[in-house]
Structure 1
């Protein structure tokens, strides 16, 4: 995987999303350099230097938590509209992201002498579905260990006496510098070597994820974190599923053309068409969409809604004949697909004139509408387009599948607070048990309380 190419990009002043996590080095000498505008004296600087500007992290006086057998000192400081309360070993550098699910800061870890990212999810238990997604992501990140997947390195046990007062969740990861979405929509020149290396790393990480019997379901450029040496990490596992799992208790993903929270531009046709069962090919479709976007520098299927999305897909790839709709289980969805205008597929060579034939060949196989005919991750890695990078010994798989059995339990709010507290306590072995609630001895699986 030794590639020598560079990226030159002006770093935006602020990140406006909440996906900035993890980094571990991989074996490439590829680099990204960034420039700052300083009049005529613009100079090349590293991303880390720029990220260090702004917010000093100065805050309130340190306090000592009451949840640890060997108390650690915590301190509080403002970050955006929120107040962070974290271990004193972490000193804020600046706010780097904010979104619907929280705020992300960059920080210096005095224990490791490295920079890291800390994501705060405020009021994490106000919605049980969202809290369940947080728990799922925590468990998945703790299970997975791979160079192309973000890694959770620490959590803060809540500074509370009772679990029912547990409000905010903090996730600490190593720091990444940007994401693929920002690279694509910058003025940065991207060669086919860049495209090859980025897509290869996504496939490499995805091979490991699928070996855990996990479907990511939300692959998109903003969920692919990138460092200045072009290393890439997959993040955001809140919508991940095991095979044949339900969808958070709602029916959104099994209702024909029902809009869902995942960005539709990267959604596989079988999900939009409400197929009862879908599997690993949904992630391969997303990789194909990202592949195309890297070359075009714009979304390949930019639908305004699911109807528009499916129409655009068939316009560009060709309409399926009736015999090829056998994977569609909804009769309503089948009728919709049959009524679409007859379209012959547009030649990829005219849509992607700058890409070599090998790249177009594997991309087209990823963007096969019929999921059972779509190329697999393993087949993609062995394709000639990736021959200069492919090394089966480095494309590792997990020894154990991920255990989704915790999702079989009815996870009421207090149970979710308990389970996430336990995940945090794993990082802090000295944590003492916390009472569930005021005047409560025990809580059963339904959330009913036993009073003293």
Structure 2
């Protein structure tokens, strides 16, 4: 009852255990006594305390109520407060998943080629659906991909997602702490391009796929500069043509003055991976966003 703070639907759910905590609040596994189904309930405390957090929460709720897909986590219902005046905490009921891809990678060092392929297929299918609707996730990482024991994956956490309309600019200004640096596309590490595209999510999928293949993060940067160093250590410094397309003067100067590096062969970096997976990974991790394939193209290429 403390969890629900006297919400009207409290008697419908039997709390089983706490399965997650964070800056947003608490997530509990619960039993829906009306349906007999196990669900996850996210409690977001003091939802109106900070404007930026309220906007992020509203964005996630609105998007997930519209995005209905087998590879995206489903909102089952939103619990309404007793009255508008008492509206302080928000309770969102999701389908319950057992774990996330971060834990799957951490706990399993014997994932097979079939695991790799099935994980990638589900992530790409979710991206194809989202990008068709002009929705960019912008914060894809293993912890934001939920998982079940049957290898079913579902993308979650749409708090940083954006909808791109054709008649509005998609300029983005990213601070160092927004999103997770290790999976952030290079164009978001230095405002390299004045507009961004669904290719930012494709880069993140590439980083996640590399982590699935090797069991460890590919680019664990300690800062934005270190992140770019790790990226260019592997894929080499960008071409003069790519650098000339960078709109930001400081970013263009930084790239022009960077020590020239040759790309490391991906077959050398990933010696134990399937050759097809290695070739695909090289395409996903292209420095220039226009050189990365779309989710649909990858699905056609691989599946």
For 2:239 and 2:212, the matched residues in 1 are separated by 30
Is the Cα contact below 8 Å between 2:169 and 2:195 reproduced in 1?
no
Gap regions ≥5 residues in structure 2: none
1:361-406 per-residue CA deviation (whole Å, 9 max, x = no partner) reads 11110100001111111111011xx33xxxxxxxxxxxxxxxxxxx
Is the Cα contact below 8 Å between 2:145 and 2:154 reproduced in 1?
yes
Corresponding residue for 2:56?
Answer: 133
Matched length: 299
Q: Secondary structure at the match of 2:182?
A: helix
Corresponding residue for 1:367?
Answer: 285
Corresponding residue for 2:140?
Answer: 219
Corresponding residue for 2:243?
Answer: 325
| 1:240 and 2:161 aligned | yes
**Cα distance, 1:204 vs structure 2:** 0.4
For 2:5 and 2:141, the matched residues in 1 are separated by 30
Corresponding residue for 1:296?
Answer: 214
Is the Cα contact below 8 Å between 1:254 and 1:276 reproduced in 2?
no
| 1:108 and 2:25 aligned | no
Within 5 A, what are the aligned runs for 1:336-347?
Answer: 336-347=254-265
1:56-83 per-residue CA deviation (whole Å, 9 max, x = no partner) reads xxxxxxxxxxxxxxxxxxxx244xxx85
- From 70, 75, 79, the equivalent of 1:147 is 70
Is the Cα contact below 8 Å between 1:185 and 1:297 reproduced in 2?
yes
For 2:116 and 2:245, the matched residues in 1 are separated by 31
- From 125, 150, 162, the equivalent of 1:204 is 125
Q: Secondary structure at the match of 2:238?
A: coil
Corresponding residue for 1:263?
Answer: 180
Corresponding residue for 1:45?
Answer: none
Q: TM-score, normalised by structure 1?
A: 0.64
With over 3 angstroms needed to count, the CA separation of the structure-2 counterparts of 1:289 and 1:110, relative to structure 1, is same
Corresponding residue for 2:173?
Answer: 254
With over 3 angstroms needed to count, the CA separation of the structure-2 counterparts of 1:306 and 1:111, relative to structure 1, is same
**Cα distance, 1:246 vs structure 2:** 8.0
Within 5 A, what are the aligned runs for 1:50-199?
Answer: 76-78=1-3, 85=7, 86-160=9-83, 163-199=84-120
**Cα distance, 1:187 vs structure 2:** 4.0
* Greater share of helix: 2
Q: TM-score, normalised by structure 2?
A: 0.94
Q: Secondary structure at the match of 1:204?
A: helix
For 1:254 and 1:330, the matched residues in 2 are separated by 11
For 2:58 and 2:169, the matched residues in 1 are separated by 16
Corresponding residue for 2:230?
Answer: 312
Is the Cα contact below 8 Å between 1:198 and 1:230 reproduced in 2?
yes
**Cα distance, 1:338 vs structure 2:** 1.6
Q: Mean alpha-carbon deviation: is it higher for 373-382 or for 318-327?
A: 318-327
Larger Rg: 1
For 2:269 and 2:6, the matched residues in 1 are separated by 48
For 2:245 and 2:157, the matched residues in 1 are separated by 28
CA RMSD, aligned part only?
1.8
Is the Cα contact below 8 Å between 1:311 and 1:340 reproduced in 2?
no
Is the Cα contact below 8 Å between 1:327 and 1:370 reproduced in 2?
no
Q: Secondary structure at the match of 1:278?
A: coil
Is the Cα contact below 8 Å between 1:319 and 1:343 reproduced in 2?
yes
1:250-294 per-residue CA deviation (whole Å, 9 max, x = no partner) reads x9x526xx4132110111111112122101000000000001011
Corresponding residue for 1:348?
Answer: 266
Gap regions ≥5 residues in structure 1: 1-75, 388-452
**Cα distance, 1:321 vs structure 2:** 2.3
For 2:148 and 2:226, the matched residues in 1 are separated by 35
Corresponding residue for 2:204?
Answer: 286
Within 5 A, what are the aligned runs for 1:337-416?
Answer: 337-383=255-301, 386-387=302-303
For 1:321 and 1:204, the matched residues in 2 are separated by 31
For 2:93 and 2:26, the matched residues in 1 are separated by 12
